Structure 1
Amino acid sequence: MPPSHPFDFGAVDPLGDDKLHEECGVFGVIGVTDAANFIALGLHALQHRGQEAGGIVTHDPESGFQTVRRFGYVRDNFTDAETMAKLPGTLGIGHVRYSTAGSKGQTAIRDVQPFFGEFAMGGAAIAHNGNITNANSLRRELIERGSIFQSSSDSECIIHLMARSLQKTIPDRMEDALRRVEGAFSVVAMTRSKLIGVRDPLGVRPLVLGRVGDGWVLSSETCALDIIGAEFVREIEPGEMVVISAAGLESLRPFRPKKSRFCIFEHVYFSRPDSQIGGRSVYETREAIGAELAREAPVEADLVCPVPDSGTPAAIGYARVSGIPYGMGIVRNQYMGRTFIEPTEQIRNMGVRLKLNVNRALVKGKRVVLVDDSVVRGTTSRKIKEMILDAGAAEVHFRIASPPTAWPCFYGVDTPQREKLLAAGMSEEEMRAHLGVDSLRFISLDGLYRAVGEAGGRNAAAPQYCDACFSGEYPVEPADMVEQGFRSKTAAE
């Protein structure tokens, strides 16, 4: 989303182009007094998964379906009484969005979810986290058969497929539609009286179930359950559909069973550290990743310093195992806000410094280990290294809590084109020289698997997670991208 001013850092994160971004978060609730307020709180907790836009749809027997979709943060759009009064009802769903790299600056309000459709048996709204990898071919087919698309989002294909289904109920139509869809999807949907949650057969993207009083909640992460005082019940299983109504919860299995391939980067970066995945705290997993990294890549140094905030748990784990003291050598400005300055080249280069500042007294004269979650383009890593050296550090060693990111993700993550990924064209030593640091080491893929709980490491014949961004092995062929000329690792070989 373009800034409202040429140098508006409130709208554009100065570190944003050098991180992978989850594109969406979804949340739904049924059986509560005021669904919209619950959803707004849930979306606020999921804001890290999508900061460009958000939307809420509710249903009330008197006023029917009501929708509010806005650009910007949840706190700026869904907190005033006037807006929330437009969303009555005890049932609703919500969505926060972060657009893909190719659509930035082109987003229209019609692309903001949830999407709504009116069918013969009543209306339905859907919110989708993930990416449909055969959306282009589905869209062409649907347009040829008379469908008129209102957005550029792949998620709209689901609504059109539902409209053309011959099934009698909306849940059955959704089953019918999702059987045609390839890729990754966690969907939260609603009818006039039902809340529906579905995960794709591989379970790439997360979706959890909770209870709040007599009501039910669906959410991308458990941290959003905590904010509304809901009790975590369980994860929606890969390939499962749950249909929740006044009669209770029904669990269905509309897809052919497949081995789960949950996104391993949820453990590394996407999920909030206070969420739980697979019964384990994300924070604890990230600390374990740092501990494994220390065993794999030791170095003589005086200080372990995280690149905040995402590198903090891994840095704590690294310090604990290595015996090197931990310290906040970099401080993050939590209140950067909107900065309006004429965009001279000198000021532009201060982008990272507006968000991060070096604790000079702590790093001066020391050999510093910087721990970060990933290296994407490498631009931010170079700037942080320069800041540490300018503050008087004797040496800078980078330790990265994920393997080299060498391949783009096509399952709902905003990833640069492959040629823009530093690891796609450089060896580890070449990356070290490019960044200008004394040493650079990444955790191994086997080491990452051990840290997330797979004691034997990665099963090369049947990987337990989706790790395509590291391995280049895609569990679902990215058909649309292949059509556009993308060559996977297998094709390249």
Structure 2
Amino acid sequence: MTGDAHTPDRRLPSHPFDPDDDKLREECGVYGVFGAPDAASFVALGLHALQHRGQEAAGVAAHEGEPNGFNIVRRLGHVRDSFTTAEVIKALPGRLALGHVRYSTAGAKGATAIRDVQPLYAEFAQGGFAIAHNGNIVNADALRAELIERGSIFQSSSDTECIVHLMARSIQRSAAERMKDALRRVEGAYSIIAMTRSKMIGVRDPLGVRPLVLGRAGDAWILSSESCALDIVGAEFVRDVAPGEMVIISDDGVESQFPFQPSKPRFCVFEYVYFSRPDSVIGGLSVYETRRRIGVELAREAPVEADLICPVPDSGTPAAIGYSQESGVPYAMGIIRNQYVGRTFIEPSEQIRNMGVRLKLNVNRAVVAGKRVVLVDDSVVRGTTSRKIKEMVLDAGAAEVHLRIASPPTTWPCFYGVDTPDKEKLLAATMSEEEMRDHLGVDSLRFVSLDGLYRACGVAEGRDDRAPQFCDACFSGDYPVAPSDRIAQGRLKLAAE
């Protein structure tokens, strides 16, 4: 649909916002190193590569050997602000270390409390234990209430602490066996790296919702949320940790166990859409190539007469390239992102606040002026960013603005480690596609279909509605693990009900 056929509301009142706040928030990232003389240095570099998965806080735990034992540094802010100094790394000696970057998905919302920053540490009868967790426990409220009733004293609001208390109550002797006991009580999604004085443990939930990979650098073994964080330390990618697998790394090598009831894997499909870095390989698929193929599917499903394909940087870039290649419409960087503006920019006046988006994104006027522009983005959450960017492109002289989204409409919140707005705050949950187009004020709006997304992820026949191959609950409402805490609170009614 063109501007001649429909004249959208092109002028919308401006309001302060950060374009990065209109995204589904990254979950967390975990990284562990066993067998390197300066393991904490490796972990700090790995966390740099995983910074996109959590930008509120970071922590590193290391073990030097007795009598000094465990040392832990946990700080608010970016990795570069806390873990790049020689003094900090010197305070974390040892050949075993693990780290975590965090965005709060459970526990305190808004400002992160230092007590919730991971890794968490505990002393068991068998010795010290550190744990870092990516994901979310959907029965954490029920477990927490039960544990408190039985005398547990919680030191944080993190759902990860439930695992620690469950382990403390296990009668098993080893940390690995205690963890198995604990995780059999846990519902939800988890990729965990944990560490004792002499071993490192990595485990994924039986559905494999969140990613975890195994790598090697010389004699050192590495566990990481993504393969891109292996590259930064020159490590070799060995394999993905399988859904439901526990790997135990010691001086004897890597031992693999499958202690949980087998389930059909349901890896988070949104990792391919947005969360993972494009240079990662997860589940045997290149994230970049998968996103490019999503753009190809989108061009086949939703063609439009246009002069220019333009990504909304940076997450829309691979899909925009695929859309351009399939459609034959030229690709250009019509929007430029300023990489050097952080979240802490001081906004001293209303006028400056209303310019907030321009601090990070600026339209390349010479490229878009007079053109029918197709903007390609990864998703629409609340729609505030899409509206503002559309205004900027029109202000730069574009003749038409068409919006193409490289994911299906986001209509349901995620409870597996992603901070998602409540359902009523998701634009696609409250409006039809046509209503969204009017609301956003674009000449046309189309999303890739769920089948198209599956095809881009290598499932040629599309989604099997009877047995979906991925977790796509944010699009379908088909939750592979019922979010029991939310249901008990009366805050969620499932699609099937």
TM-score range, shorter chain: over 0.9
For the residues of structure 1 that align with 2:24 and 2:106, how far apart are their CA atoms?
Answer: 10
1:29 to 29, 33, 53: 33
| Map 1:52-63 → 2, pairs under 5 A | 52-62=56-66, 63=68
2:291 to 248, 270, 286: 286
2:470 to 462, 465, 485: 465
For the residues of structure 2 that align with 1:417 and 1:173, how far apart are their CA atoms?
Answer: 35
| Map 1:137-286 → 2, pairs under 5 A | 137-286=142-291
* Offset of residue 489 of structure 1: 3.4
> Does 1:439 pair with 2:444?
yes
Aligned CA distance change for structure 1 residues 357 and 24 (closer, same or farther; 3 Å): same
For the residues of structure 1 that align with 2:273 and 2:162, how far apart are their CA atoms?
Answer: 31
Residue by residue over 1:53-112, the C-alpha shift from the partner in whole angstroms, topping out at 9 and shown as x without a partner, is: 000000011410000000000011001111111100000110000013883334311100
The answer for the alignment partner of 1:3 in structure 2 is none
> Does 1:128 pair with 2:133?
yes
The answer for the alignment partner of 1:14 in structure 2 is 18
The answer for the alignment partner of 2:47 in structure 1 is 43
Residue by residue over 1:212-252, the C-alpha shift from the partner in whole angstroms, topping out at 9 and shown as x without a partner, is: 11110000000000000000000000000000000111101
2:99 to 84, 89, 94: 94
1:80 to 85, 95, 108: 85
Contact 1:222 1:232 in 2 (8 A): yes
- Report percent identity of matched pairs: 74
Residue by residue over 1:266-318, the C-alpha shift from the partner in whole angstroms, topping out at 9 and shown as x without a partner, is: 00000000000122211011000000000000000000000000000000000
The answer for the alignment partner of 2:109 in structure 1 is 104
2:370 to 365, 368, 387: 365
For the residues of structure 2 that align with 1:427 and 1:234, how far apart are their CA atoms?
Answer: 42
Contact 1:95 1:127 in 2 (8 A): yes
The answer for the alignment partner of 2:7 in structure 1 is none
- Three-state SS of the structure 2 residue aligned to 1:414 is coil
| Map 1:367-386 → 2, pairs under 5 A | 367-386=372-391
> Does 1:343 pair with 2:385?
no
For the residues of structure 2 that align with 1:107 and 1:451, how far apart are their CA atoms?
Answer: 36
Aligned CA distance change for structure 1 residues 101 and 327 (closer, same or farther; 3 Å): farther
- Three-state SS of the structure 2 residue aligned to 1:218 is strand
For the residues of structure 1 that align with 2:106 and 2:260, how far apart are their CA atoms?
Answer: 31
For the residues of structure 2 that align with 1:179 and 1:347, how far apart are their CA atoms?
Answer: 52
Q: TM-score, normalised by structure 1?
A: 0.96
The answer for the alignment partner of 1:298 in structure 2 is 303
For the residues of structure 2 that align with 1:88 and 1:475, how far apart are their CA atoms?
Answer: 41
The answer for the alignment partner of 1:485 in structure 2 is 490
For the residues of structure 2 that align with 1:266 and 1:107, how far apart are their CA atoms?
Answer: 24
* Offset of residue 487 of structure 1: 3.0
Q: Which amino acid aligns with 2:320?
A: A
For the residues of structure 2 that align with 1:488 and 1:296, how far apart are their CA atoms?
Answer: 31
* Offset of residue 119 of structure 1: 0.5
* Offset of residue 163 of structure 1: 0.3
Residue by residue over 1:418-446, the C-alpha shift from the partner in whole angstroms, topping out at 9 and shown as x without a partner, is: 11000001000000000000000000000
- Superposition CA RMSD, Å: 1.2
Contact 1:101 1:416 in 2 (8 A): no
The answer for the alignment partner of 1:309 in structure 2 is 314
- Three-state SS of the structure 1 residue aligned to 2:495 is helix
The answer for the alignment partner of 2:418 in structure 1 is 413
The answer for the alignment partner of 2:457 in structure 1 is 452
Contact 2:107 2:157 in 1 (8 A): no
Residue by residue over 1:145-204, the C-alpha shift from the partner in whole angstroms, topping out at 9 and shown as x without a partner, is: 100000001010000000000001111000110110000000000000001000000000
Contact 1:199 1:236 in 2 (8 A): yes
Contact 2:170 2:178 in 1 (8 A): yes
For the residues of structure 2 that align with 1:339 and 1:181, how far apart are their CA atoms?
Answer: 40
The answer for the alignment partner of 1:7 in structure 2 is none
Aligned CA distance change for structure 1 residues 280 and 240 (closer, same or farther; 3 Å): same
Structure 1: unaligned runs, 5 residues or longer: 1-11
Aligned CA distance change for structure 1 residues 101 and 411 (closer, same or farther; 3 Å): closer
Contact 1:472 1:488 in 2 (8 A): no
Contact 1:21 1:415 in 2 (8 A): yes
- Three-state SS of the structure 2 residue aligned to 1:110 is helix
Q: Which amino acid aligns with 1:96?
A: V
For the residues of structure 1 that align with 2:105 and 2:237, how far apart are their CA atoms?
Answer: 30
- Three-state SS of the structure 1 residue aligned to 2:254 is strand
- Three-state SS of the structure 2 residue aligned to 1:413 is coil
Q: Which amino acid aligns with 1:461?
A: R
- Three-state SS of the structure 2 residue aligned to 1:21 is coil
Contact 1:101 1:415 in 2 (8 A): no
Q: Which amino acid aligns with 1:116?
A: Y
The answer for the alignment partner of 1:4 in structure 2 is none
Aligned length: 480
